Every structure is written in C-alpha cells, then in structure tokens.
C-alpha cells in the first residue's frame, strides 16, 4: 500500500496521466485483493489425477459435464465444512458437478493474502468422497472442464433485501433453460458459509458422512487416540495390552474394556470469550460462556461416569494465555491431558491450523464421551456426526443411559449439575437451527 499512496500524491498534470494512475491503481488493487482466488489457473493441483468416468454414463444422477465453481472456503474448519456442504448442495440443486473447491489452511481471515489456499484433496479423500456420495453430490476437477471460455458468472446478492426467497429463486432459475447450457457457472461474491441456507440438516449430514481425512492425517489422529489409550492403560496397569481395532488384547490373550476417554472441547480461548460475552448480552442469557471452573465441575458430575477416566482437552493452544492451567482443579479420578502433557504437540506443530483442527475434530469424534459447548459450531458439528454414528448402529433411545457415542453440552446444566445430554435433531429444516448457537439440544 506504500507504493500506492506515493503514486496517488505525486503531481498529476494531464488527464491522461490521471487516467493512467487510475488504471494502474485498479490493477494493483485487483492484484492485492484477489491474489489466488480459485480461478482456472489459480489453484495448485498437486498430483491429483482425476478418474474420468465416461460422460454418457449418468448413473451419478448428476450431470458430469456441467460444473459449478465457488469462492474459496475460509475461516475455521467448522466454517469451511459447512461452506463445503452448502456448495455441494447448491451444485446438487443446479444438477452440476462441484469443481473441487479451495480450502484455507490458516485462520487469519481479515487479510486475504494470509488465507493460504489448500486444495480439498490435501485434507479429504477426493475419490472416496465421490464413491460415498455417489448419486447425491459429485466433485470434479478443473481438468475435466473442456471449454474454459464458456463461464457464466452468477452474482450472489447481499444486503437485507436479498432474502432467502430471492436467493432460492435465483438458484432455481439458474438450474434450467439457457443457463443450463453453460459448461461452468461460477458463483462470485461472499464465501458459501455466508450464503442463505435452503437445505435440511439431514442433507448436510449426508455430505459430512462422505468426508474422510486423507490417509496421512487420519494416521496422525490414530497416533493421538492410541496415545490417549496408552495413558489409560498405564493407569490401570495394563501396559502390556495392545489395542486391535478398539479391542484390547492383553498378553495372556484375554480381552478387556479399554479405559474410556472423555474429550472436552474447551472453548475458553481469548477470541471466544470476547465473542460469547457479546452473545450472552444480546440473547439475554448466561448459558454460553462457561469458564474453566464451570466446565471442570460439570464434566465431574456426568451421571454414571466411572473413574478413573482420561480426559482429553481439545483447545486451540495458540489462542490460550496459559495452557498448563487448564490441567488444574480436576477432581480425583479425572486425568486431564492436553497436547503437551500427552506428548503429541510435535504431531500438531507439523501442520497448519486447518489440519490441526481436523485432527482434534477426529479425536473428539472417536472419544467414548464428548463434551462441548452448544454455542460452538465446532462442537455442534461433532455432536451432529456422533448422532449420525448412533443412528447408523440403530440406537433407539439416543438420550438414554449406557448408549454408545453420547455427547453433552457443558454450557447447559443437566441433572445434578452435570452437563446436558446432547443429540442433534436430524429433522430440523435448516442447519441454522442447530449450528449457529442454540440451547435446544434435544435431550
Ligand atoms: C440431472 O442430470 C442427470 C444426468 O443428465 C439426469 O439423469 C437427471 O435426471 C437430472 N436431474 C434432475 C433433477 O434434473
Ligand atoms: C468455447 O465456447 C465459446 C463460447 O461459447 C465458443 O465460441 C468456442 O467455439 C468454444 N470452443 C470450443 C473449443 O468448443
Ligand atoms: C487468561 O488471562 C486472563 C486475564 O489475564 C484470565 O482472566 C483468564 O482466566 C486466563 N485464562 C486461562 C485459561 O488461563
Ligand atoms: C500457568 O499456569 C500454571 C498452572 O496453573 C502456573 O504454575 C504458571 O505459573 C502459569 N504461567 C503463567 C505464565 O501464568
Ligand atoms: C439397523 O437396522 C436396519 C433396519 O432395521 C438393518 O438393516 C441394519 O442391519 C441395522 N444395523 C445395525 C448395525 O444393526
Ligand atoms: C426436531 O425438529 C422438528 C422440526 O423442527 C420438531 O418438530 C421436533 O419437535 C424436534 N424434536 C425435538 C426432540 O426437539
């Protein structure tokens, strides 16, 4: 910007030079503001080889030769997952293949050049996604696009007058007629997280189920879960035991239940505390900003929880002023661990923010018990996927006792000042109802 201001205060004698300056300014601004937005050339493709299925084979139920392109997905992992699912569902509505979007590896969202675009397939498995979501939504590669000049730009409206209805009408209009002839529709404007929501919760859940971490990242999550299990074995004295697919086999061949672990998404970082205080004021409630003391107390009161138990504390260390203090004040029988005490911070440090969150997310998903904040989108998505897991194993009374994959919200008091049991209501008609902060948590 230095250069720019010098340019502007310099002597401007003629109209021509004024015009030149204006033109240069526009060009510079454009370069500054849109450095690597996902255009046809802006993305690094890595080693991705697209498997092309014959175009005439339409058993995907989705046009494979018509594409949708969306702006880069930004902010936290949870925002990017929601944005991704919304982009998929938009493409589905237009009966188009979604061009693999670009995610953002860093959390910095104010400065566009710090967004660090990262290709979808560096985080999630591309082919597995298409296999699992076959017939529902489909991802494609930029190399599948035949005619790169034939792009229709579709501007997303904004402002108060751009209502849900207008947004839906625009999508419906673009799904037919002459719009459908364009090989590529490129949506320009806000990132998909900010688009209007037109889809029921179960459609989002269907997309989330198709997202599997890449092998490398999944292996790191495995290492952390194994480490947590190992800590549990040290406590029970079963250090000889080895874990085989969730079953622990001791050296004499007998098997025993592993010590359960509770994952707590401790949302007490500085950024959150500012946000949640404002939210509490606006919504006139005091059930959003649980501090450390309240979290420790509520987790300590989970009904029927047998101790000793390992407690894994999922926090964004970078945003915490003193991460060792979260280990204090736990009651006897509760063995708190964060990344450092577990000795796994080295694993996390290798990766950018987005992947660190993805690993933590996976660990929380696999915990025997999960406790989070119902006003956190990150916690909400974990509760949603755990609810899906329960549905898949046909749990009938998801709020009942002794079920597998239970979740709790520590910001809402439950029985005997424990945390409230939490399942996602899959019948809600929009994701808004469950994911942008709520204390209606269905149990
Ligand atoms: C979408 O496109 C596919 C492939 O051309 C077609 O079989 C299907 O009927 C279309 N779906 C809708 C809802 O138009
Ligand atoms: C690509 O699309 C443009 C605009 O529709 C058209 O003029 C051009 O002939 C097309 N090129 C190819 C190779 O199909
Ligand atoms: C962070 O620091 C503030 C004030 O310096 C303090 O009130 C708060 O409890 C600290 N948070 C943690 C998790 O240590
Ligand atoms: C962080 O917390 C630990 C444990 O409560 C305490 O011993 C240590 O002095 C704190 N460090 C800082 C820099 O506040
Ligand atoms: C769940 O129930 C369905 C239908 O009753 C059945 O087909 C399926 O095998 C069951 N799944 C499990 C894991 O029990
Ligand atoms: C789930 O959501 C549906 C639709 O909004 C609603 O009718 C139902 O009462 C909700 N169920 C629970 C248990 O909250």
Instruction: Indicate whether 127 pLDDT > 90.
Output: yes
Of all protein residues, the one whose alpha carbon is nearest to atom 10 of ligand 3 is: 321
Task: Give yes or no: residues 157 and 16 share one domain.
Answer: no
How many Å lie between the centroid of ligand 4 and the Cα of residue 323? Answer: 8
Of all protein residues, the one whose alpha carbon is nearest to atom 11 of ligand 5 is: 393
Task: Give yes or no: residues 18 and 54 share one domain.
Answer: no
Task: Give yes or no: residues 369 and 249 share one domain.
Answer: yes
Instruction: Indicate whether 29 pLDDT > 80.
Output: no
Q: Which of 149, 152, 153, 184 to mutate to test the pocket of ligand 2 (most atoms within 8 A of CB)?
A: 149
Between 2-9 and 15-33, two packed helices, what is the crossing angle to 10 degrees? 170
CA distance 178 to 263: 51
Confidence of residue 272 (pLDDT cuts 50, 70, 90): confident
Instruction: Indicate whether 268 pLDDT > 80.
Output: yes
CA distance 187 to 40: 13
CA distance 12 to 21: 9
Report helix, strand or coil for 111. coil
397 within a domain of the structure (yes/no) = yes
Q: Which residue has the tokens 């392109």?
A: 69
Domain limits at 7? 2-33
204 within a domain of the structure (yes/no) = no
Cis peptide before 308 (omega within 30 of 0): yes
Task: Give yes or no: residues 194 and 316 share one domain.
Answer: no
39 within a domain of the structure (yes/no) = no
380 within a domain of the structure (yes/no) = yes
Task: Give yes or no: residues 300 and 416 share one domain.
Answer: yes
210 within a domain of the structure (yes/no) = no
CA distance 157 to 171: 11
Of all protein residues, the one whose alpha carbon is nearest to atom 1 of ligand 1 is: 62
How many Å lie between the centroid of ligand 2 and the Cα of residue 225? Answer: 53
Report helix, strand or coil for 32. helix
Final residue in a domain of this structure, among 143, 167, 199: 199
CA distance 389 to 232: 24
Instruction: Indicate whether 266 pLDDT > 70.
Output: yes
40 within a domain of the structure (yes/no) = no
Confidence of residue 36 (pLDDT cuts 50, 70, 90): very low
- Give the atom of ligand 6 at the shortest distance from the alpha carbon of 440: 14
Question: What pLDDT, on the 0 to 100 scale, is given for residue 147?
Answer: 83
Higher pLDDT, 368 or 19: 368
Question: What pLDDT, on the 0 to 100 scale, is given for residue 109?
Answer: 54
pLDDT (mean) for 302-328:
85
- What's this model's pTM, rounded to 2 decimal places? 0.83
Task: Give yes or no: residues 296 and 417 share one domain.
Answer: yes
81 within a domain of the structure (yes/no) = yes
Ligand nearest to the backbone CA of 398: 6
Instruction: Indicate whether 253 pLDDT > 60.
Output: no
How many Å lie between the centroid of ligand 5 and the Cα of residue 384? Answer: 20
The finding on whether 421 has its CB within 6 A of some atom of ligand 6 is no
Question: What pLDDT, on the 0 to 100 scale, is given for residue 319?
Answer: 67
The finding on whether 36 has its CB within 6 A of some atom of ligand 1 is no
- % the chain with pLDDT above 90: 62
Handedness of CA 73, 79, 80, 85 (dihedral sign): negative
CA distance 439 to 378: 15
Under 8 Å CB-to-CB from 352, ≥6 apart: which residues?
105, 106, 116, 118
Task: Give yes or no: residues 91 and 154 share one domain.
Answer: yes
Instruction: Indicate whether 40 pLDDT > 50.
Output: no
Final residue in a domain of this structure, among 141, 167, 199: 199
- Give the atom of ligand 6 at the shortest distance from the alpha carbon of 425: 1
347 within a domain of the structure (yes/no) = yes
Instruction: Indicate whether 54 pLDDT > 90.
Output: no
The finding on whether 63 has its CB within 6 A of some atom of ligand 1 is yes
pLDDT (mean) for 404-412:
96
Task: Give yes or no: residues 180 and 296 share one domain.
Answer: no
Task: Give yes or no: residues 359 and 400 share one domain.
Answer: yes
Highest mean pLDDT among 36-50, 85-99, 114-128: 85-99
For the chain, the average pLDDT equals 83
Task: Give yes or no: residues 393 and 250 share one domain.
Answer: yes
Confidence of residue 176 (pLDDT cuts 50, 70, 90): confident
The finding on whether 292 has its CB within 6 A of some atom of ligand 3 is yes
Task: Give yes or no: residues 13 and 131 share one domain.
Answer: no
Q: Which of 389, 390, 393, 394 to mutate to test the pocket of ligand 5 (most atoms within 8 A of CB)?
A: 394
Domain count across the chain: 3
Instruction: Indicate whether 418 pLDDT > 80.
Output: yes
Task: Give yes or no: residues 173 and 310 share one domain.
Answer: no
Instruction: Indicate whether 192 pLDDT > 90.
Output: yes
Give the chain's length: 443
């Amino acid at each position: 910007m230095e250069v720019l201001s010098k340019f502007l205060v310099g002597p401007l004698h003629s109209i021509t030079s004024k015009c030149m300056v204006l033109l240069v300014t526009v060009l510079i601004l454009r370069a500054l503001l849109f450095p690597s937005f996902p255009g046809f050339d802006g993305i690094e493709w890595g080693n991705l080889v697209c498997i092309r299925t014959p175009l005439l084979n339409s058993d995907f139920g989705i046009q494979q030769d018509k594409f949708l392109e969306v702006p880069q997905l930004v902010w936290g992992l949870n925002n990017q997952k929601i944005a991704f699912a919304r982009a998929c569902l938009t493409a589905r509505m237009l009966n188009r293949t979604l061009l693999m979007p670009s995610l953002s590896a860093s959390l910095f969202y104010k400065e566009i050049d710090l967004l660090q675009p990262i290709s979808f397939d560096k985080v999630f498995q591309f082919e597995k996604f298409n296999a699992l979501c076959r017939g529902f939504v489909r991802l494609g590669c930029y190399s599948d696009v035949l005619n790169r000049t034939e792009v229709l730009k579709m501007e997303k409206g904004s402002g108060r007058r751009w209502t849900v209805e207008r947004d839906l009408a625009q999508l419906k209009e673009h799904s037919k007629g002459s719009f459908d002839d364009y090989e590529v529709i490129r949506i320009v404007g806000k990132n998909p997280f900010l688009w209007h929501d037109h889809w029921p919760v179960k459609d989002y859940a269907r997309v989330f189920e198709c997202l599997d971490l890449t092998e490398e990242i999944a292996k790191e999550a495995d290492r952390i879960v194994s480490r947590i299990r190992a800590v549990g074995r040290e406590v029970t004295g079963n250090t000889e035991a080895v874990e085989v697919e969730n079953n622990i086999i001791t050296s004499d061949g007998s098997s025993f239940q592993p010590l359960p672990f509770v994952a707590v998404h401790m949302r007490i970082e500085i950024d959150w505390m500012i946000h949640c205080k404002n939210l509490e004021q606006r919504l006139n409630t005091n059930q959003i900003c649980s501090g450390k003391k309240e979290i420790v107390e509520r987790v300590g009161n989970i009904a029927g929880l047998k101790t000793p138990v390992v407690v894994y504390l999922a926090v964004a260390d970078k945003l915490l002023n003193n991460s060792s203090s979260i280990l204090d004040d736990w009651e006897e029988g509760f063995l708190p661990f964060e990344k450092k005490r577990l000795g796994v911070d080295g694993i996390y440090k290798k990766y950018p923010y987005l992947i660190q969150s993805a690993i933590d997310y996976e660990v929380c998903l696999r915990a025997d018990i999960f406790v989070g904040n119902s006003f956190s989108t990150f916690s909400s998505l974990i509760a949603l996927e755990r609810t899906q897991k329960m549905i898949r194993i046909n749990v009938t009374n998801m709020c009942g006792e002794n079920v597998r994959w239970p979740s709790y919200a520590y910001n809402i008091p439950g029985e005997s000042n424990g945390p409230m049991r939490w399942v996602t209501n899959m019948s809600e008609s929009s994701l808004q109802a469950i994911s942008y902060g709520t204390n209606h948590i269905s149990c």
